[in-house]
């Protein structure tokens, strides 16, 4: 859809990337690192000072202390982190439970490891967890359950009740929980992000994936990190050293120094993206689209059945070609999407004038 938007000079609200730059102070730190000779291999687990500041941050955000030496690993992007974790833990014949709609890299990573993706659709009315169906699918072959919170594309967050329910279901299982938490600092009031690392029944057999690219508004930097108990981290690092060995060195130094100097930066991310969400939602009030609740991340799901009977792929193409606004058909995130679903995803991590111009066009449909 991004290519189609570019070819047709359409406003691109499809692919999930910000339209604005990282903080200037962070860019200055990158320049200093580049010019200061921080350009050679970093240690395989990542620059220690960055892992140390992350450990401190986690104690502030989540109330627990991750060991920077044995439980935090810096990786070249969250997607690479997900791939490494899945390759390290999944073997031929293992089953991995995924929840549709889901990020498109999950299932291929499982298949490449020789595993079998078990795709379960979230409840279509509100994207809540279908606990009965999940319980039916958990068996001795279930090695991993992959959660995404805040969720792409729905914007839903995993609540404490959700986590406790999952912990209860897994009480007689050895399955590991892999939680994709790349939008962890984009959770909107009154909601709160709860990491899998905070859940007593799961904390000894879980992995959390985070993204500097999302938090710093710099998706092209491809910098993320993995947090997991030492026993799991040991297995992940065995594989990681042969996939990338280490992540971008100057960006790691810059991130560490920036986070030390700006201890409250992450709260500004929440404020900024909540403002963007509200700008777009308010501008769309007079449209014939129905906006679904958005608790986190930077995507707005809209329902369009009052406008068109086209399926979501055809409708997404039509509004890109004819009306010059590009979105993503939500069916792209499913193995088999519900037949009555008429949903598009728009990214609102854009300048206010972009959001207002897009909404003005969409309100005319």
* CATH number of the domain within which 291 lies: 3.90.1150.10
Query: Does 255 share its domain with 278?
Result: no
Are 130 and 215 within one domain? Answer: yes
What is the mean pLDDT of the segment spanning 128-138?
Answer: 96
Q: Over 80: is that where the pLDDT of 282 sits? A: yes
Residue finishing a domain among 261, 278, 299: 261
Domain shared by 53 and 187, yes or no: yes
Question: What is Dmax (Cα atoms) for the chain?
Answer: 58
Mean pLDDT calculated for residue range 274-283: 98
Out of 59-63, 93-97, 259-263, least confident range: 59-63
288 lies in which domain range?
Answer: 2-21+265-362
Which CATH number goes with the domain that contains 110? 3.40.640.10
**Closest of 336, 311, 306 to residue 122, by C-alpha:** 336
* 249 and 285 belong to one structural domain: no
What's the mean pLDDT in 95-115?
97
Number of domains in the chain: 2
Tokens standing for 37? 């000779």
Burial of 326 (0-12, 13-18, 19+ CB in 10 A): buried
Q: Express each pLDDT in 13-72 by its tens digit.
A: 998 889 999 999 999 999 999 999 999 999 999 999 999 999 999 998 888 889 999 999
Say yes or no: 286 and 235 in one domain. no
Burial of 182 (0-12, 13-18, 19+ CB in 10 A): buried
Whether 340 and 239 share a structural domain: no
Contact assessment for residue 216 and residue 235, using Cβ atoms and an 8 Å cutoff? no
- Mean model confidence pLDDT for the chain: 96
Q: Convert the pLDDT of each residue in 299-312 to its tens digit.
A: 999 999 999 999 99
Give yes or no: residues 166 and 34 share one domain.
yes
d(CA 130, CA 128): 6
Whole-number Å distance between alpha carbons of 32 and 225: 22
Looking at the structure, do residues 97 and 180 belong to the same domain, yes or no?
Answer: yes
pLDDT digits (tens, 9 = 90+) for 200-213: 999 999 999 999 99
- Together in a domain, 212 and 320: no
Same domain, 254 and 282: no
Residues 69 and 161 in one domain: yes
Q: How far apart are CA 320 and CA 339, in angstroms?
A: 22
Residue that terminates a domain, selected from 214, 243, 261:
261
Indicate if 234 and 282 belong to the same structural domain: no
Task: Please say which residue of 217, 239, 261 terminates a domain.
Answer: 261
Q: What pLDDT shows up at residue 340?
A: 80
The CA–CA distances, whole Å, from 26 to 21, 222, 272, 276 equal 10, 15, 17, 22
**What is the rounded average pLDDT of the residues 254-267?**
96
């Amino acid at each position: 859809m991004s290519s189609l938007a570019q070819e047709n000079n359409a406003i691109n609200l499809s692919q999930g990337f910000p339209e604005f730059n990282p903080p200037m102070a962070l860019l200055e730190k990158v320049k200093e690192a580049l010019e200061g000779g921080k350009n050679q291999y970093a240690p395989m687990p990542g620059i220690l000072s960055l892992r140390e500041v992350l450990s401190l941050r986690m104690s502030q955000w989540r109330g627990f202390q991750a060991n920077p030496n044995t439980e935090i690993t810096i990786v070249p992007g969250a997607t690479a982190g997900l791939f490494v974790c899945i390759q390290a833990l999944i073997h031929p014949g293992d089953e991995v439970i995924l929840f549709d709609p889901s990020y498109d890299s999950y299932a291929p990573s499982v298949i490449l490891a020789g595993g079998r993706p078990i795709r379960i659709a979230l409840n279509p009315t509100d994207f809540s967890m279908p606990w009965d169906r999940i319980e039916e699918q958990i068996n001795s072959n279930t090695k991993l359950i992959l959660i995404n919170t805040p969720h792409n594309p729905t914007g839903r967050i995993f609540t404490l009740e959700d986590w406790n329910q999952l912990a209860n279901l897994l009480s007689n299982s050895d399955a590991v929980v892999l939680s994709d938490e790349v939008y962890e600092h984009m959770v909107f009031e009154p909601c709160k992000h709860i990491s899998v690392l905070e859940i007593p029944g799961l904390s000894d057999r879980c992995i959390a994936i985070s993204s500097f690219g999302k938090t710093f508004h710099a998706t092209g930097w491809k910098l993320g990190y993995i947090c997991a108990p030492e026993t799991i981290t040991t297995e992940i690092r065995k594989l990681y050293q042969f996939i990338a060995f280490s992540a971008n060195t100057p960006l790691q130094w810059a991130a560490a120094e920036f986070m030390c100097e700006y201890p409250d930066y992450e709260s500004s991310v929440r404020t900024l993206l909540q403002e963007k969400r509200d700008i777009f939602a308010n501008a769309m009030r007079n449209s014939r689209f129905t906006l679904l609740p958005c608790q986190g991340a930077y995507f707005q799901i809209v329902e369009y059945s009052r406008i068109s009977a086209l399926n979501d792929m055809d409708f997404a193409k039509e509004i890109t070609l004819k009306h010059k606004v590009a979105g993503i058909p939500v069916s792209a995130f499913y193995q088999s999407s519900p037949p009555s679903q008429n949903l598009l995803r728009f990214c609102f991590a854009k300048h206010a004038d972009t959001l207002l111009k897009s909404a003005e066009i969409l309100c005319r449909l």
